[in-house]
Structure 1
Amino acid sequence: MNTAAASGAALLDQPGGWTHGVRYGLLGLPLAFAALPLYVLWPNHFAREHGVSLAALGAVLLGARLFDAFIDPLIGRWCDATFRRSVVGVLWLGALASAVLALGFVALFFPPAALGASAALLAWAVAGLLLTYTAYSVVSVAHQSWGAMLGGTEAQRARVVAWREALGLVGVVLAAVLPSLAGLGVAATVFALLLAVGCWAWSSALRPVPDAAARAEPLASVWAPLRQPAFARLLGVFLVNGIASAVPATLVLFFVQDQLQAPAAMEPAFLGTYFLCAAASMPVWLRVVAHMGLARAWRLGMGLSVLVFVWAAFLGPGDAWAFLGVCALSGLALGADLAVPGALLAGLVGDMGERGRGEGRYFGWWNFAAKLNLALAAGLALPLLGWWGYAPGQRDAQALTALTWAYCILPCVLKLVAAAALQHFIIHKEPRS
């Protein structure tokens, strides 16, 4: 293990170590802030404000998101090369990509009025999406790789990831409320300021020590992580578990509106409770990791999630307050999904002798899988719902049964598959720190 990097991670456990966590993790806040508007709000805004057809918009989004997912491994290789040259160079790369991200964000939400609803507007959208998605991926992969290079014990790696993800959850909550309360112009300004502050804090964070003996890798090395059986197994668990989490995220509003028939005013409370409980659970999961290890803690979180969603299957009209409890408990389970997998990957990279030389390639494929989760969740859950007889607004028994199976039972099955794979492929082979 890289001794300098490991000692850096250990500083997070010392008195006052929270300052190191904030300096590294703060950039996670604006990155998470950007994700919600870019992936959720922008399509609806663009269609409504500019009269773009849903068919055209769908084609644009499909192409841009496929491009976004498939470039991540290449971006990871680029980040590895930058780390080999200079850690300071990584900071400059992150700052430049952050500036491009902020400009792309503004360009997407505020296109020139002269473009109207013409083909030029769609071309503007395509260019803006490709630029913004690429910049977002560069910053994300570089930032994640930096944290992984710090190394340390299981508990220390989990602490590094937890700071990044907990601050990211704050960004998600802020992005959920700020555009509706203050408008998109204010949200864009706040986002740019948060990016600047996040980059400044990152520049004073604990610095990893890349492997000085690492050599430049050929382009074909981008595929090397997939040839590592241990990584392929972990990536498979991450993918199945991620789909299990993304399916209810895709269907939650359908469930709230048609199965629970809850007041629209409660919808922000459901989402806010979910994310706030996830953030609040981070210290708890860090203690669990210290007690039982990363993989076992993750499996415990999967089990909690299954228990919660089995309970949700019995809810119906008028059970909005009970569903608030589901949101709180599933938020607690989400904390494990956020704090553990990235720390497991960081440890795996070290175990394979790649610390300080290959983090970017591994996190490139990791982000590819995370984005694929969202696409597969929509591609799996929505067609199944239609096949089972549900359409938005339908409240007959058959339609609601289909919705309940897709929202509650399908994720439980997938979580159990992921937990079994984790038990079989990882926990039995897991070295204890």
Structure 2
Amino acid sequence: MIATRDAWRYGLMGLPLAFVALPLYVQLPAHYATEFGVPLATLGTLLLVTRCADALIDPWIGRWTDRLHRSSPGRLLGTVALAALALASGFALLFLPPVRGDALVAWAAMALMLTYLAYSAIGIAHQSWGARLAGDEVQRARVVGWREGFGLLGVLLASVLPTFVGWGWTSAALAAALALAWFAWRSTPKPEDAPAVHSGVPFSQWLPFRHRAFRALLAVFLVNGIASAIPATLLIFFIRDRLQAPDSAQALFLGVYFLCAAASMPLWLAAVRRIGLVRSWRAGMMLAVAAFVGASTLGAGDTTAFALVCMASGFALGSDLALPGAILAGVVRDAGEQGRSEGLFFGWWNFATKLNLALAAGVALPLLALGGYTPGARDAAALSALTAAYCLLPCALKLCAALLLHLSLGRTGDSP
């Protein structure tokens, strides 16, 4: 069993990775729309194209990561250090662009691709390293819990720093966090001695899809991920226009949301001990549905009620963060690929994550524009379209994900 001191040192990299993710996937659309006047349809197309391109690269990064795991974990960590430098640079270039006007979209595309590539390289290496350290269900959830717990702390920092210190100091804080996390990761146990149980299946880039449990889990993850990515993309618009709350309230709502997610981690781990990974994750999905149904009834000035929605949905988020990755680690083990192909599995897993985000931005933003919504809209039809996209569509998708989880994995217990 991995010691607590090693678990937190491993998990610390989750902080800067999540620190990057919140601005990229939540704050960026509103930042470019309001600060630089980029149209929503243009933003949706930009994010769809760059996120799809980024997603297609991830399985190849996973295969490359597996090779580095087998040849030299030291080389892997050296490559991660270079990726961390690229990530800090790309983030600063994206949120502090030196150009305006017609060149801005092209600049944003370049900065996004640099940031996405570096983020993927670090994230897949980190996830696959953790999968090689994990053991039974509880141990897998514990390793992922440390990683995602630090991730929630990173999200909390990212939700308040831009408001209070600006994007320049936020970029500097990211660079410092990446450096500290890399040094901590370097001191954790090397997983090169993890038992490698070969399945006898010839290796290929598509190897994970030969395992039924992976296909089933990935389908659930895709549907559930789109359900989570849509409100993340539209959150700031909902706060500003549906609730008509001041900009200062954004940090409060995000803080409540992610604090509750962090506080829920020990409770979800306790639930895993009692009812298993799959049933715990399904319970989290149903809690999210209840929260967003409540959000659909809110209007201007309902900030206290929305804070309660953020608490409930934040609690549900804890299950989405801690449990699917632990289930995947078990799938890798049961498939006989532990110590051999974790990077490839997590490469495809990250592909699905990026596809979720790409579809959320590429579909939700243009649809809102077609429905007559623009940032700052106050007419009833536009706000109804925003509410339907932010609240009701995610509920329908979450219910579909819960049903898929029950049909594909729930009937055979919690070990796929």
Q: Do they fold alike, i.e. is TM over 0.5?
A: yes
Question: Alignment partner of 1:11: what SS?
Answer: coil
Q: Which residue of structure 1 aligns with residue 125 of structure 2?
A: 142
User: Are residues 1:88 and 2:79 paired?
Assistant: no
Mapped to 2, the partners of 1:424 and 1:55 lie a distance apart of: 37
- Point out the more displaced range, 206-215 or 321-330: 206-215
- State the one-letter code of the partner of 2:239: V
User: Are residues 1:207 and 2:190 paired?
Assistant: yes
| Contact 1:29 1:168 (C-alpha < 8 Å) held by counterparts | yes
Q: Which residue of structure 1 aligns with residue 15 of structure 2?
A: 29
Mapped to 1, the partners of 2:321 and 2:170 lie a distance apart of: 25
Pick from 247, 250, 255: which aligns with 2:230? 247
- State the one-letter code of the partner of 1:303: M
Report the alpha carbon displacement of residue 227 of structure 1 after superposing the two structures with TM.
2.9
Q: Which residue of structure 2 aligns with residue 224 of structure 1?
A: 207
Q: Which residue of structure 1 aligns with residue 354 of structure 2?
A: 371
Residues 92 and 292 (structure 1), Cα distance of their counterparts in 2 relative to 1, 3 Å cut: same
1:210-289 alignment runs, 5 A limit: 210-211=194-195, 221-289=204-272
Mapped to 1, the partners of 2:26 and 2:287 lie a distance apart of: 27
In structure 1, the gaps of 5 or more residues are 1-9
Q: Which residue of structure 2 aligns with residue 68 of structure 1?
A: 54
Pick from 96, 99, 104: which aligns with 2:90? 104
* Structure with the larger RCO, 1 or 2 (CA within 8 Å, 6+ apart): 2
Report the alpha carbon displacement of residue 243 of structure 1 after superposing the two structures with TM.
1.0
Mapped to 2, the partners of 1:415 and 1:30 lie a distance apart of: 28
Mapped to 1, the partners of 2:53 and 2:32 lie a distance apart of: 20
Alignment deviations for residues 45-77 of structure 1 (CA, whole Å, 9 cap, x no partner)? 678888988887766554432221110000000
Report the alpha carbon displacement of residue 214 of structure 1 after superposing the two structures with TM.
6.6
Pick from 289, 298, 308: which aligns with 1:315? 298
Alignment deviations for residues 253-293 of structure 1 (CA, whole Å, 9 cap, x no partner)? 33333333334432221111111110111111111111111
Q: Which residue of structure 1 aligns with residue 143 of structure 2?
A: 160
Mapped to 1, the partners of 2:75 and 2:7 lie a distance apart of: 21
- Point out the more displaced range, 205-214 or 51-60: 51-60
- State the one-letter code of the partner of 1:283: P
Residues 110 and 374 (structure 1), Cα distance of their counterparts in 2 relative to 1, 3 Å cut: closer
Pick from 11, 24, 41: which aligns with 2:2? 11
Report the alpha carbon displacement of residue 30 of structure 1 after superposing the two structures with TM.
0.9
Q: Which residue of structure 2 aligns with residue 430 of structure 1?
A: 413
In structure 2, the gaps of 5 or more residues are none
User: Are residues 1:170 and 2:153 paired?
Assistant: yes
- State the one-letter code of the partner of 2:185: W
Residues 95 and 254 (structure 1), Cα distance of their counterparts in 2 relative to 1, 3 Å cut: closer
Residues 408 and 157 (structure 1), Cα distance of their counterparts in 2 relative to 1, 3 Å cut: same
Mapped to 2, the partners of 1:51 and 1:391 lie a distance apart of: 11
Residues 400 and 193 (structure 1), Cα distance of their counterparts in 2 relative to 1, 3 Å cut: closer
Q: Which structure has the bigger radius of gyration?
A: 1
Normalising by structure 2, we get a TM-score of 0.89
How many equivalent residue pairs? 414
- State the one-letter code of the partner of 1:366: W
Residues 333 and 37 (structure 1), Cα distance of their counterparts in 2 relative to 1, 3 Å cut: closer
Pick from 389, 392, 413: which aligns with 1:406? 389
- Point out the more displaced range, 378-387 or 401-410: 378-387
